[in-house]
Amino acid sequence: MQQTNTSPVRLAIAGCGAITDESHLPAALGSPHAEVKALIDSSPDRAARLARKYGCDAEIGERLEAVLGKVEGVLIATPNHTHSLLARIALEQGVPVLVEKPLTTTYADAIELCELAKRNGTFISVGFVTRHFPVVRLMKRLLGEGFFGRLDRFCFEFGTAGGWAPVSGYNLDRNQSGGGVLVVNGTHYLDRMLYWFGWPERFTFADDSFGGVEANCRATFEYAGGFEGSMFLSKSMSLKNRFTIEAERFHVEVSLSEVDNLTLFPKDLPGTRMSLCSTDRPAAADPFLAQIEDFASVIRKGGSPAVDGEFGALSVKLCEQLYACRTQLEEPWAWYRKAAKVQA
CA 41, CA 63: separation in Å to the nearest integer? 7
What lies within 8 Å, CB to CB, of 80 at 6+ separation is: 102, 104, 105, 170, 176, 177, 178, 183
Mean of all residue pLDDT scores within the chain: 92
Closest CA to 306 of 190, 73, 132: 132
Beta bridge partners of 217: 207, 233
Average pLDDT over residues 125-140: 95
Coarse DSSP helix, strand, coil percentages of the chain, rounded to the nearest 5 percent: 35, 25, 40
pLDDT band at residue 4 using 50, 70 and 90 as cut-offs: confident
How many helices (H) and strands (E) the chain has is answered by: 11, 15
DSSP-assigned states of every residue in 76-96 = E-S-GGGHHHHHHHHHTTT--
72 and 221, same structural domain? no
221 and 169, same structural domain? yes
- Residue 43 phi/psi, 5-degree rounding, is -115, 95
- Domain-embedded: residue 324: yes
Average pLDDT over residues 27-50: 97
- Domain-embedded: residue 60: yes
31 and 143, same structural domain? no
- Domain-embedded: residue 224: yes
Give the model confidence (pLDDT) of 205-263 as tens digits: 999 998 889 999 999 999 999 999 999 999 999 999 999 999 999 999 999 878 889 99
- Domain-embedded: residue 139: yes
264 and 138, same structural domain? yes
- Domain-embedded: residue 63: yes
229 and 188, same structural domain? yes
Secondary structure of residue 155 in the 3-state scheme: strand
The CATH code of the domain that includes 48 is 3.40.50.720
The CATH code of the domain that includes 190 is 3.30.360.10
- The pTM assigned to this predicted structure is 0.91
- pLDDT for 6 equals 84
- pLDDT for 336 equals 53
- Surface-to-core class of residue 249, CB atoms within 10 Å of its CB (0-12 exposed, 13-18 middle, 19+ buried): middle
19 and 166, same structural domain? no
- pLDDT for 332 equals 74
Please give the tally of structural domains in the chain.
2
- pLDDT for 313 equals 98
Which residues span the domain enclosing 237? Answer: 133-283+318-328
DSSP state letter for 101: S
300 and 236, same structural domain? no
Give the model confidence (pLDDT) of 40-94 as tens digits: 999 999 999 999 999 999 999 999 999 999 999 999 999 999 999 999 999 999 9
CA 63, CA 40: separation in Å to the nearest integer? 6
156 and 123, same structural domain? no
Residue 176 has pLDDT above 90, yes or no: no
- pLDDT for 244 equals 97
- pLDDT for 2 equals 54
